[in-house]
Structure 1
Amino acid sequence: MNVKVVIFDWDGTLVDSVEHIADSLHQAATDLGFPELEREAYRDIIGLGMVEALEKLYPGISRDRMNAIREGYARYFFSKVTTPQNVFDGMARVLADLRSSGRRCSVATGKSRRGLAKALDTSGLGVHFDITRCADETRSKPDPLMLEEILDFYRIDPSEAVMIGDTRYDLDMARRIGMPSIGVEWGVHKRDVLSAYEPAAVVSTVPELREVLGV
Structure 2
Amino acid sequence: MKHYELLVFDWDGTLMDSAGEIVSAMQQAIQVTGLPERTPEQMRQLIGLGLDDVLARLFPELDTQRVRAKLEAYRARYGMQRSTAVLFPPVMDALETLRDTGYVMAVATGKSRRGLNAAMRDTGTRDFFAFTRCADESIPKPAPAMLEDILLRSGTMPEQALMIGDTEYDIAMARAAGVDALGVGCGVHDTARLRRAGALDVLDTVEALPAWLACEVRPA
> Structure 2 regions of 5+ residues with no counterpart?
216-220
8 Å CA contact retained: 2:4, 2:162: yes
Q: TM-score, normalised by structure 1?
A: 0.92
8 Å CA contact retained: 1:141, 1:173: yes
> Structure 1 regions of 5+ residues with no counterpart?
none
Tell me by how many angstroms 1:49 deviates.
Answer: 1.2
8 Å CA contact retained: 1:25, 1:73: no
Q: Equivalent residue of 1:30, what SS?
A: helix
Q: Equivalent residue of 2:149, what SS?
A: helix
Could you tell me which residue of structure 2 aligns to residue 132 of structure 1?
132
Would you say how many aligned residue pairs link Structure 1 and Structure 2?
213
CA distance in 2, matches of 1:121, 1:42: 26
8 Å CA contact retained: 2:7, 2:105: yes
Q: CA RMSD in A?
A: 2.0
8 Å CA contact retained: 1:47, 1:109: yes
**Structure 1 stretches of 4+ moved >6 Å:** 74-77
Percent identity of paired positions between Structure 1 and Structure 2: 39
Greater mean alpha carbon deviation, residues 201-210 or residues 131-140: 201-210
Map 1:81-160 to 2 at 5 A: 81-82=83-84, 86-160=86-160
Could you tell me which residue of structure 2 aligns to residue 15 of structure 1?
16
Greater mean alpha carbon deviation, residues 135-144 or residues 95-104: 95-104
Could you tell me which residue of structure 1 aligns to residue 218 of structure 2?
none
From the superposition, tell whether residues 158 and 92 of structure 1 become closer, same or farther in structure 2 (CA, over 3 Å).
same
Could you tell me which residue of structure 1 aligns to residue 81 of structure 2?
79
In structure 1, what residue type is equivalent to 2:153? F
CA distance in 1, matches of 2:13, 2:78: 18
8 Å CA contact retained: 2:93, 2:207: no
Residues 136-191 of structure 1: CA deviation (Å, up to 9, x unaligned): 11011000000000000111111101000001100111011221111001110011
From the superposition, tell whether residues 205 and 120 of structure 1 become closer, same or farther in structure 2 (CA, over 3 Å).
closer
From the superposition, tell whether residues 129 and 75 of structure 1 become closer, same or farther in structure 2 (CA, over 3 Å).
farther
CA distance in 1, matches of 2:195, 2:79: 30
Q: Equivalent residue of 2:150, what SS?
A: helix
Map 1:46-61 to 2 at 5 A: 46-59=47-60, 60-61=62-63
Greater mean alpha carbon deviation, residues 172-181 or residues 8-17: 172-181
Residues 106-162 of structure 1: CA deviation (Å, up to 9, x unaligned): 000011111111111111111101110001110110000000000001111111010
Map 1:23-62 to 2 at 5 A: 23-59=24-60, 60-62=62-64
Q: 2:171 aligned with 1:171, yes or no?
A: yes
Larger radius of gyration: 2
Tell me by how many angstroms 1:71 deviates.
Answer: 4.6
From the superposition, tell whether residues 201 and 62 of structure 1 become closer, same or farther in structure 2 (CA, over 3 Å).
closer
Tell me by how many angstroms 1:91 deviates.
Answer: 0.7
Could you tell me which residue of structure 2 aligns to residue 194 of structure 1?
194
Tell me by how many angstroms 1:8 deviates.
Answer: 0.3
Tell me by how many angstroms 1:81 deviates.
Answer: 2.7
From the superposition, tell whether residues 77 and 87 of structure 1 become closer, same or farther in structure 2 (CA, over 3 Å).
farther
Q: TM-score, normalised by structure 2?
A: 0.90
Tell me by how many angstroms 1:208 deviates.
Answer: 2.9
